A and B are shown apart, each in its own frame.
Chain A
Amino acid sequence: MKPKLNVEIGRLKLKNPVMVASGTFGYGLEFENVAGIGALGAVVTKTITLHRRVGNKPPRIAETPSGMLNSIGLENPGVDIFVNEKLKDLSKFKVPIVVSIAGDTVEEYGQLAGALEGINSIDALEINISCPNLHSGLLFAQEAGTTARVVEAVRSNTKKTVITKLSPNVTDITPIARAAEEAGSDAISLINTLMAMTVDIKEKVSTLGSVTGGLSGPAIMPIALYMIWRTARTVKIPIIGMGGIMGWEDAVAFMMCGASAVSIGTANFVNPSTAEEVIEGMAAYLRRHGIKDINALVGTLRT
């Protein structure tokens, strides 16, 4: 028996629930020679902005125990080059495309959604309001009100599926997740990276050029599981879970906690086949346990 792996996120129909997370897979083409891109549930692109961004001062990454810090600063070529070059390359893989978008203002999010609305090869938008590497002020995702305003701005400019990516750098995730849901988001993805830093004591400097960065990798998985579990008990819209998934067992845990789909992030750097291995591993798990449909796994954690 072949278990059913299809999941639906808003109007987005995926052949399996395993995506690759924004910023860890470029615009897809970069992984062409090391991964089977066509096998993925969806590709979430590196975040794009209205205008080109040069990104943060190097060094931009540092390794930590079972994790890594990054502070890329949303370096990207801007929406026009993305649409005319990167998107065309990615479209050839016949895989659902989720475009991650970010702006400095609420209006910019709306403009970006509008600019991408007419493009059929884009299946969904992921609103990145949780990148910790931009400025020292509050993130949009750190307040229910600003979260709602950004989601509304995007929602009113697109008919595509809207996914809102939330930040773990908050005191309570639930009012923010609820705000995103009420403002019309079709789904929530979490977690983005945790604000963090490491120090080079010899040079008395941060190991990152921009001093602080975002922590990702297996080190943050317990936090991600907790936040997804909390959020799943708060909202009705589907959750895409991410944060340190290294193998299928992790993905199963995310789904038990309430994630309808998962994203592979940092693991793409360690083993570019991770997503494919997770798909195969989860299918085998379902077979072993006689589960016919992967959706039956969602939120099955016994408490």
Chain B
Amino acid sequence: MLLLLQKVFESRGDKRSAVKEKSLLVKAKIIDTEKIRKDCFKIGLEAPYVAKRAIPGQFVHVRTGNYTDPLLRRPLSIHRIHAHSIDILFNVVGKGTEILSEKRKGDTLDIIGPLGNGFKFFKSTTYKIIVAGGMGVAPLVGLAEALSRTLKGSKKGFTVIMGAKTKEHILCENEFKRLGADLHIVTEDGSRGQKAMATDLLFDIIRKKRYNLDKICFYAAGPMAMVRSLCRLAEGCSIESQVSLEERMGCGLGACLGCAIDTQSGYKRVCKDGPVFNMCEVLCE
């Protein structure tokens, strides 16, 4: 009888692991947690299949607790992609992220991913400029890492323009520096760099360096006001420019249509049609 039971369990176990390999539903072990500053945390997740499949700009849909409040998963950008793990970087903005910030190394996290469309790379002659506003920096570090790999040996660089509220809010400066990016930082209160918005600085740089707009490809993420003013500028620039957008999400899989945003071509799902959209799709108003 026992033997029989064991066999049953084994066969079920086999079946499950086979499903798991294909499934995007993953129990990921937390291998690292780090408090970056007040209310900002980084979590490293052991998730080989997610890491293998992920491209910069995609997200994971994270269940923060085991109970029904908060109920829904939280969509979080994949911050960095390693060989067998991924990092997420987030601000504590509510109940869900607060619970997440209290997780410890060794805990497991129920995640679905990688989900959505990531950033696309084009083998083109455009000059790449990354524009990060606030927490928008989260997916852009992974993107910068991938970009620097593709640009390796070509002598071509890329620019990162980062806007933050104050100097305390500046994130991932060293990561971008390490990748050899031409990094420019502005703050809203002037405590570091110019007192300006990221887009203001961007306009200055484009004017000074006399970049030809249609030879620039932007990659951006940040507050909607920043995204909109960038999209207005980008109207004349390369159609390769892309932006990562946010919206409250239900399923994260494209089924519930809860995360719809209005675009030039009607309502689109941030979870499935995005979160990375072509800039020319975004409504500037």
Residue numbers of A with Cβ under 8 A of B are 23-27, 30-31, 33-36, 46, 54-55, 57-68, 70, 72, 75, 217-219, 246, 266, 268-273
B256 on the interface (CB 8 Å rule)? yes
Q: Which of B23, B69, B255, B261 has the most CB of A within 10 A?
A: B255
* Contact assessment for B71 and A61 in the assembled complex, using a CB-CB cutoff below 8 Å: no
Question: Could you pull out 22 A-B pairs where Cβ atoms are within 8 angstroms?
Answer: A30-B254, A30-B255, A30-B272, A33-B23, A34-B24, A58-B260, A58-B267, A60-B258, A61-B256, A62-B248, A63-B70, A66-B68, A68-B72, A70-B258, A75-B257, A75-B267, A217-B68, A268-B255, A270-B63, A270-B72, A272-B25, A272-B253
Interface of B (DSSP majority class)? loop
Beyond the given pairs A24-B256, A269-B251, 15 more chain A to chain B contacts, judged by CB atoms under 8 angstroms and listed by A's residue number, are: A23-B256, A24-B251, A26-B251, A26-B256, A30-B251, A30-B255, A33-B22, A46-B255, A54-B267, A60-B260, A70-B250, A75-B257, A75-B267, A269-B73, A272-B253
CB neighbours of B251 from chain A (8 A): 24, 26, 30, 268-269, 272
Q: What is the CA–CA distance of A73 and B29 in the complex, to the nearest angstrom?
A: 38
Q: What is the CA–CA distance of A236 and B24 in the complex, to the nearest angstrom?
A: 42
**Chain B: minimal CB distance from A153 (Å):** 27
* Contact assessment for A34 and B258 in the assembled complex, using a CB-CB cutoff below 8 Å: no
B153 on the interface (CB 8 Å rule)? no
Q: What is the CA–CA distance of A57 and B253 in the complex, to the nearest angstrom?
A: 20
CB neighbours of A268 from chain B (8 A): 251, 255
Q: What is the CA–CA distance of A261 and B267 in the complex, to the nearest angstrom?
A: 35
Q: A54-B266, A68-B250, A246-B68 are in contact. Are A61 and B259 (CB under 8 A)?
A: yes
Q: What is the CA–CA distance of A54 and B267 in the complex, to the nearest angstrom?
A: 7
* Contact assessment for A66 and B73 in the assembled complex, using a CB-CB cutoff below 8 Å: no
Q: What is the CA–CA distance of A27 and B255 in the complex, to the nearest angstrom?
A: 7
CB neighbours of B24 from chain A (8 A): 33-34
Q: A26-B255, A54-B266, A72-B257 are in contact. Are A67 and B250 (CB under 8 A)?
A: no
B112 on the interface (CB 8 Å rule)? yes
* Contact assessment for B71 and A67 in the assembled complex, using a CB-CB cutoff below 8 Å: yes
B34 on the interface (CB 8 Å rule)? no
Closest to A207 in B: B248
The 3 closest A-B pairs by CB, nearest first: A26-B255, A30-B255, A61-B258
Q: What is the CA–CA distance of A27 and B257 in the complex, to the nearest angstrom?
A: 12
**Chain B: minimal CB distance from A243 (Å):** 13
Question: Which of A60, A64, A266 sits near B257, CB closer than 8 Å?
Answer: A60
B21-60 vs A, Cβ < 8 Å mask (1 yes, 0 no): 0111100000000000000000000000000000000000
Q: Which of B63, B256, B267 has the most CB of A within 10 A?
A: B256
B173 on the interface (CB 8 Å rule)? no
Closest to B74 in A: A63
Q: A34-B25, A218-B68 are in contact. Are A72 and B266 (CB under 8 A)?
A: no
B19 on the interface (CB 8 Å rule)? yes
* Contact assessment for B258 and A63 in the assembled complex, using a CB-CB cutoff below 8 Å: no
CB neighbours of B23 from chain A (8 A): 33-34
B262 on the interface (CB 8 Å rule)? yes
* Contact assessment for B63 and A55 in the assembled complex, using a CB-CB cutoff below 8 Å: no
CB neighbours of B250 from chain A (8 A): 61, 68, 70, 269
Closest to A61 in B: B258
Question: Which of B110, B252, B260, B272 sits near A55, CB closer than 8 Å?
Answer: B260
Residues facing A in B236-285 (CB within 8 A) are: 247-262, 266-267, 272
Closest to A27 in B: B255
Question: Which of A26, A35, A271 sits near B63, CB closer than 8 Å?
Answer: A271
Q: What is the CA–CA distance of A268 and B252 in the complex, to the nearest angstrom?
A: 11
Q: A23-B256, A34-B23, A46-B255 are in contact. Are A63 and B72 (CB under 8 A)?
A: yes
Closest to A33 in B: B24
* Contact assessment for B247 and A31 in the assembled complex, using a CB-CB cutoff below 8 Å: no
Q: What is the CA–CA distance of A36 and B15 in the complex, to the nearest angstrom?
A: 12
CB neighbours of B63 from chain A (8 A): 270-271
CB neighbours of A217 from chain B (8 A): 68, 71
Q: What is the CA–CA distance of A273 and B248 in the complex, to the nearest angstrom?
A: 22
Question: Which of B252, B254, B255, B261 sits near A24, CB closer than 8 Å?
Answer: B255
CB neighbours of A54 from chain B (8 A): 266-267
**Chain A: minimal CB distance from B8 (Å):** 12
Q: What is the CA–CA distance of A46 and B257 in the complex, to the nearest angstrom?
A: 10
Closest to B72 in A: A63
CB neighbours of B256 from chain A (8 A): 23-24, 26, 61, 70, 72, 269
CB neighbours of B110 from chain A (8 A): 271
Q: What is the CA–CA distance of A63 and B97 in the complex, to the nearest angstrom?
A: 14
Q: Which of A35, A54, A64, A269 has the most CB of B within 10 A?
A: A269
* Contact assessment for A31 and B267 in the assembled complex, using a CB-CB cutoff below 8 Å: no
**Chain B: minimal CB distance from A36 (Å):** 7
**Chain A: minimal CB distance from B14 (Å):** 15
* Contact assessment for B253 and A26 in the assembled complex, using a CB-CB cutoff below 8 Å: yes
